[in-house]
A = this chain, B = another copy of it.
Amino acid sequence: MSLAALFEAHKDTLDKALDACRTRSFFSPFVESPSSKIHGTDKVRAGKEAFEAHLGTSFDLEQPGTVGRTGFEVSPYTQEPLGIDYPRIDVDMMMEAASKAMQSFAHTTADERAGLCLEMAFAFDSHSFENAHATMHTAGQSYLMAFSGSGANAIDRGVEALAYAYKALKDVPTEAEWEKSFGATGVVKLKKTYRTVSRGVAAVICCATFPLWNAYPAIFANLMTGNPVVLKPHPNGILPVAIAVKKARDLLMQHDLDPNMVTMAADTRAEPITIDLLKHDAVQIIDYTGSQRFGTWIEDNFATKLVYTETAGCNGVVIESLKDVDDMLQGLANALCGFSAQMCTSPQNIHIPATGVKTPDGTLSYEDVRDLIVGKVQKNIATPRQCAGLCATIQADETLTLLSDVRAAAQKAGQVLLDSAPYEHPDFPKARTATPLIVEVPASDTSLYDQEHFGPISFIIKEETSEAALANAANMVRDHGAISSYAYSYDPDYLAAAQNAFADAGASLWCNMTGRMPINFAAAYSDYHVTGMNKAGNACLADLAFVASRFRIIQFREPI
């Protein structure tokens, strides 16, 4: 199918995506449930088999600049190496190939690119079962989360970025006639033509726990604007990225385009390649997802490159009053457990006034609310099967060390309300697991909670008043960043004050979320993910700012 035909084939999806960006209503052309009732059992089985076929093999990815093999991934479920190796690349050679690809891709139009990228999005989706298992055994997510988090939900964010890029490109006309009177010489007419041009290679640094959720938006934002993409997976999250890269390259070749518009630069912890990649002159764009420390370093050190980061912060919760005690605290408890709080949107610091929390049935004491939260978490993880579905596994050994460290510190400064322990996964007896640790701290002891503790660690912070709770939570955001913040109040004045306080601190706020949905769910087309106004990142998925600088405009003019 020609690129023009692909555009026609996917135009309806593109229009709906553009519409959803405008109305910010729900839209998805993909299915986020892996249910065999929807997909049939064949697809479900084939995906698992495709994943298993990778194990212990050399991943079949023909790439330029391959100078050996690399890769060492360990499954959080089996704690055994996956045994897959990938091309080890020479950065200079890969950059040369990517830059060459950019030249040949320059002549495609925005429509053609949209057709190609949407075809790619559906191609990615067709691998969602395979990628769900790949994501499970690298990131450690549950099967359900892995299916949607590396599938529909992630591809939706990709198509959203694609739509914004399309809109920004289309804002530039391809030609114009211009006429103006110049005094005595009369009217001058000029024909003007405009060409959108790419910036350079984009290095896309993916994270360990959601290997594709930020990768797809970066892939599509860059391909749409003509910039070749080099994906740098986390050393323990290569397989999901490799599956996507292979698919993208196959599709480019099918359409007689240079496959080096999408390449992968895999590495290992022992021999990291990221810095070499970022520093290369050909790299003009950096899309980074990962730790705040490294993200900040990148923001500080690449002044003349375009840098887009999504990192992490101290996500806070302020509880002033609860209209629906049970439902709201259930939602919070779920978020403390979900994927063992290894999400950039997981709440960590729960600020509760010592003066208690109002409810329609009277005031609950601080201790009541605290104990209700702990109780709901306990109930959530009552059985290994529940734990497996909700908490899944711990992505990295370091998180277990962190759990020990925080527990030790807590025993001095505060008290452990709910201790963490491994649970036995019903399907994977060797899985790396840990139930949530909940620590109570006085508000004054900020040193314990004024940073992100990545993993199933949360703090119940006793505040003097609801005003103090709000002020402290907002200050945490201002000083340390946040991606998702939460407030509970049915006092309109308090809620307005909370919104203003968080807005002033550069953060969005989710208010009175109940347990009817994951409170930290970030919806493509609707929720602007990351404000770019605090230390948790400088970019947003997705807005015009995410795409408008990724290309430039060259103009020609000539008298008619």
Report A's interface with B, CB cutoff 8 A.
22-26, 33, 167-168, 171-173, 176-180, 182-183, 185-186, 188, 192, 194-195, 197, 199, 299-304, 307, 499, 502-503, 506-518, 523, 526-528, 531-533, 538, 540, 543-545, 548-549, 552-559
Distance in angstroms from A541 CB to nearest chain B CB is: 11
A290 to chain B, nearest CB (A): 18
- Inter-chain contacts of A509 with B (CB < 8 A): 555-556
The CA of A168 and the CA of B164, in the complex, are separated in Å by 12
A-B contact pairs, 24 of them (CB 8 A): A24-B173, A24-B176, A24-B194, A25-B179, A26-B180, A167-B171, A168-B544, A168-B548, A171-B544, A172-B543, A180-B523, A185-B516, A185-B517, A197-B503, A299-B304, A302-B303, A502-B554, A508-B555, A511-B557, A512-B559, A513-B558, A533-B552, A543-B553, A545-B549
**Which of chain B's residues have a CB closer than 8 A to the CB of A176?**
23-25, 526
CA distance A543 to B196 in the complex (A): 11
Nearest B residue to A555, CB-CB: B508
Contacts of A173 in B (CB 8 A): 22-24
- The smallest beta-carbon distance between A151 and chain B, in angstroms, is 16
Contact of A178 among B25, B538, B544, B554 (CB under 8 A): B25
Q: Is the CB of A178 within 8 A of B552?
A: no
A512 nearest in chain B by CB position = B558
Q: How far is the CB of A336 from chain B (nearest CB, A)?
A: 18
Complex: chain B residue closest to A28, CB-CB = B180
B-chain residues with CB within 8 Å of residue A527 when the two chains form the complex: 192, 555, 557
Stoichiometry, as copies per complex, reads 2
Q: Which residue of B lies closest to A550 (CB)?
A: B545
A167 nearest CB neighbor, chain B only: B171
Q: How far is the CB of A156 from chain B (nearest CB, A)?
A: 11
Of B178, B199, B302, B548, which one neighbours A24 at CB under 8 angstroms? B178
A24-B194, A509-B555 given; 14 more Cβ-contact pairs under 8 Å: A25-B177, A171-B544, A180-B523, A186-B516, A188-B517, A199-B533, A303-B307, A503-B554, A509-B556, A510-B556, A514-B559, A527-B555, A531-B554, A540-B552
Which B residue's beta carbon lies closest to that of A164?
A: B171
The 10 closest A-B pairs by CB, nearest first: A303-B303, A24-B176, A544-B548, A511-B558, A508-B555, A548-B548, A545-B548, A545-B549, A185-B516, A26-B180
Check A506 against B543 for contact (C-beta < 8 Å): no
A33 touches B180 (CB 8 A): no
- Bound-state CA distance A543–B551 (Å) is 11
CB distance from A302 to the nearest CB of B (A): 7
Contacts of A517 in B (CB 8 A): 180, 182, 185, 188
What residues of chain B lie closer than 8 Å to A167, measured between beta carbons?
171
Instruction: Please measure, in the bound complex, the distance between the C-alpha atom of A171 and the C-alpha atom of B182, giving whole angstroms.
Output: 36
Considering the chains assembled together, what is the distance between the CA atoms of A532 and B188 in angstroms?
27
Q: How far is the CB of A33 from chain B (nearest CB, A)?
A: 7
CA distance A16 to B19 in the complex (A): 25
CB-CB < 8 A to A533: which residues of B?
Answer: 197, 199, 552, 554
Within the complex, what minimum Cβ distance (angstroms) separates A75 from chain B? 27
Q: Is there contact, CB below 8 Å, between A183 and B33?
A: yes
- Tell me which of B178, B300, B307, B538 contacts A523 (CB under 8 A): B178
- Closest B residue by C-beta to A518: B182
Cα A185 to Cα B508 in complex, Å, equals: 25
A197: chain B residues at CB < 8 Å are: 503, 506, 533
- List of B residues within 8 angstroms of A515 by Cβ: 185
Q: Pick from B518, B540, B554: contact of A506, CB below 8 A.
A: B554
Taken together as a complex, chains A and B put the C-alpha atoms of A188 and B299 apart, in Å, by 37
| B residues less than 8 Å from A532 (CB atoms) | 552
B557 near A510 with CB under 8 A, answer yes
A40: min CB distance to chain B, Å: 19
Contact assessment for B556 and A26 in the assembled complex, using a CB-CB cutoff below 8 Å: no
Complex: how many Å from CA A557 to CA B172? Answer: 33
The residue of chain B having its C-beta at the shortest distance from the C-beta of A22 within the complex is B173
Q: How far is the CB of A327 from chain B (nearest CB, A)?
A: 9
Which residues of chain B have C-beta atoms less than 8 A from A307's C-beta? 303
In contact, A553 and B540 (Cβ under 8 angstroms):
yes
**Closest B residue, CB atoms, query A546:** B548
Q: What is the minimal beta-carbon distance from A36 to any residue of chain B, in angstroms?
A: 15
In the complex, are the beta carbons of A508 and B188 less than 8 A apart? no
> Which residues from chain B contact A199 at a C-beta distance below 8 Å?
533
Tell me the nearest residue of chain B to A299, going by C-beta: B304
